[in-house]
Amino acid sequence: MMLTSAAQAAPHPALPELAATIAMSCRVRLARNLAGERFPDWATERDRERVLAVVREALSVEAPELRVTPVAGVEEQDRDMLCESHLISKELLERAAGGGVAVAKDGSVCVMVNEEDHLRIQGFAQGLDILGAWRRADALDSGLERHLAYAWSPRLGYLTACPSNVGTGLRAGVMLHLLGLSLLGEIEPVVRGLERMRLLVRGIGGEGSEAAGQIYQVSNMDTLGTDEEGIIRRVTRICSEVVRQEHNARVRLLQETPLVLVDCLARSLSVLQNARLLATAEALEFLSALRLGAAMGLCTRLKVSDVDALILMMQPGHLQKGLGTSMTSDERDEMRAELLSRKVARVKLKC
């Protein structure tokens, strides 16, 4: 079969190359709190406003490019866009008074103020470059520490609102696209294995969300007892192994069940090109398949980065912002279908 020979001929790419298509992005988050202040959940509005003012002042000296904006003052569509880009959480959006956000222009660093903790400092990077994401977050954290008295103890480290974050306060997460393993029916043992190794496995939307589009967030469970670089090395090592497993699954799909793969791609492309109404979750499932096709070189005129851009563009906030109007859910489904059919109109399968 043509696909089988293509699989045999395909060279085994190096890890960074694989990571670019399978590991979509990574993030390091540091939870920090100010000494002598109530944690945001138990603080009064005035307490939270005071913390916001203190953090804003520290940021204005240490990182003037990061301007803190109160969440209440951000337009709804912009708030949704920040959330969809995984820069801020839904919990912060729900925080009426005292919630703040500061995002670097290039999106490499973001600070949430008065979310679960007073500060959530986040560094972002592409692929599996968790160390790069950590260095960004760490540099900002060290700078802020010169101006803020963090709640910290020699025994428990950084003191956080929830004891599950105490210690380093560090959560290193990688967004993995694991459709190959899913199509082979092997995703569950992989997820179980990750959980046995004390890693958290969540859906694309973070805590409590489903792995829509077979996109998983994998992060460290333990934050106490291992230093920051040790945590990062461990998450990187394990996620690299998952990336290799996903790559092997994709090769096996081509070799062993090419029809299953091609059927999945053809159906998805067909729906995206012809549907008149598409809900977000539904669209994500089909785009996920197309992403797999693009990563495996099975689609013409389509790169993985194109699909990643579409995954973002078709989300409710991005869609409305892009069209410059507010829409109902039904209207959005219609516009999403139209947008996606236009964007993938010229894409064809090579098989």
Partner 1 sequence: MKCELCHKADAETAIRREVEGEVQELYVCQGCARQETVSAAPPDVAAEQPVAGGMGTVPLMGMILDAAFEIVGRAMNRAEPACPACGILRHEYRKQSRLGCPACYEAFAKELDAAIFDLHRAAQHVGKVPQRAQALWQRRQLEVRLAQAVKEQRYEEAIALRDELLRLPEPDTSKGGPA
Q: Binding residues for partner 1, per CB under 8 A?
A: 33-39, 41-42, 54, 58, 116, 138, 141, 145-159, 161-164, 166-168, 170, 198, 222-228, 230
In the bound complex, what is the minimum distance in angstroms from residue 92's beta carbon to partner 1? Answer: 15
Q: Write the single-letter amino acid at 316.
A: P
- CA 292 from centre of chain: 18
For partner 1, the closer CB: 37 or 241: 37
Helices and strands: H and E segment counts in the chain: 14, 10
Report which of 156, 226, 263, 240 is spatially closest to residue 194, judged by C-alpha positions.
240
In the bound complex, what is the minimum distance in angstroms from residue 44's beta carbon to partner 1? Answer: 11
In the bound complex, what is the minimum distance in angstroms from residue 203's beta carbon to partner 1? Answer: 21
In the bound complex, what is the minimum distance in angstroms from residue 280's beta carbon to partner 1? Answer: 30
For partner 1, the closer CB: 122 or 288: 122
Which token pair is 82?
A: 């920040």
State how far the Cα of 40 lies from the Cα of 45, in Å rounded to an integer.
9
For partner 1, the closer CB: 54 or 266: 54
For partner 1, the closer CB: 155 or 276: 155
Rg (CA), the chain: 21
For partner 1, the closer CB: 1 or 149: 149
In the bound complex, what is the minimum distance in angstroms from residue 31's beta carbon to partner 1? Answer: 12
What is the helix (H) or strand (E) element at residue 238, kind and residue range? helix 228-256
In the bound complex, what is the minimum distance in angstroms from residue 121's beta carbon to partner 1? Answer: 12
For partner 1, the closer CB: 169 or 317: 169
In the bound complex, what is the minimum distance in angstroms from residue 171's beta carbon to partner 1? Answer: 13
| Cβ atoms of residues 141 and 32 within 8 Å | yes
For partner 1, the closer CB: 198 or 346: 198
| Phi, psi (deg, nearest 5) at residue 202 | -130, 170
| Cβ atoms of residues 120 and 98 within 8 Å | no
| Cβ atoms of residues 122 and 29 within 8 Å | yes
> What is the DSSP secondary structure assignment for residue 59, as one 8-state letter?
H
| Cβ atoms of residues 227 and 134 within 8 Å | no
